[in-house]
Amino acid sequence: MNKVQLTQQGLNKLQKELDLLKNVKRNQAVERLHRARAMGDLSENSEYTAAKEDLAFIEGRIQEIETLLKNVEVVKHVSNGHYTVLGSTIDIEVDGKKDAIQIVGEFEADPLRKKLSSTSPIGKALLNKKVGEVVKVQVPDGNKKYKILDIK
């Protein structure tokens, strides 16, 4: 597996999720499974099946996060405000509207929270640019122009 680039904030979030899964969610799922098993006939026990699937999902997510954490590279935000880099928060103008986005690694991306992957078309286009630059990006609606107003 290649290195997984995360900001310190993204690493902290993953570690917190892993802790919650291992120390709370897993125990709750095991307890639910025990209760369901005590209900009797397992062949027609939908609660048992659901509890088993829930525990399997939690175990899978724990394994996924542990694998990610073994391959993580914390990206230090080294932009001095001159160029956009991974971890930069960028004030932009698109179609006359101002907005702020952050460029993050792909495992940390969350478009609804304005965290765009550095491998996405918009993220790629904005990397290594400076204040005042305008980049054109092909998006599903057509071409959009992104003007960089500020870099933090």
Mean pLDDT of 82-93: 91
Q: What angle do CA 31, 34, 39 make, to 5 degrees?
A: 130
pLDDT higher than 90, residue 79:
no
The full set of domains in the chain, from first to last, is 4-74 (1.10.287.180), 89-151 (3.10.50.30)
- 78 vs 70: CA distance, rounded Å: 23
pLDDT per residue over 123-149, tens digit each? Answer: 999 999 999 999 999 988 889 999 999
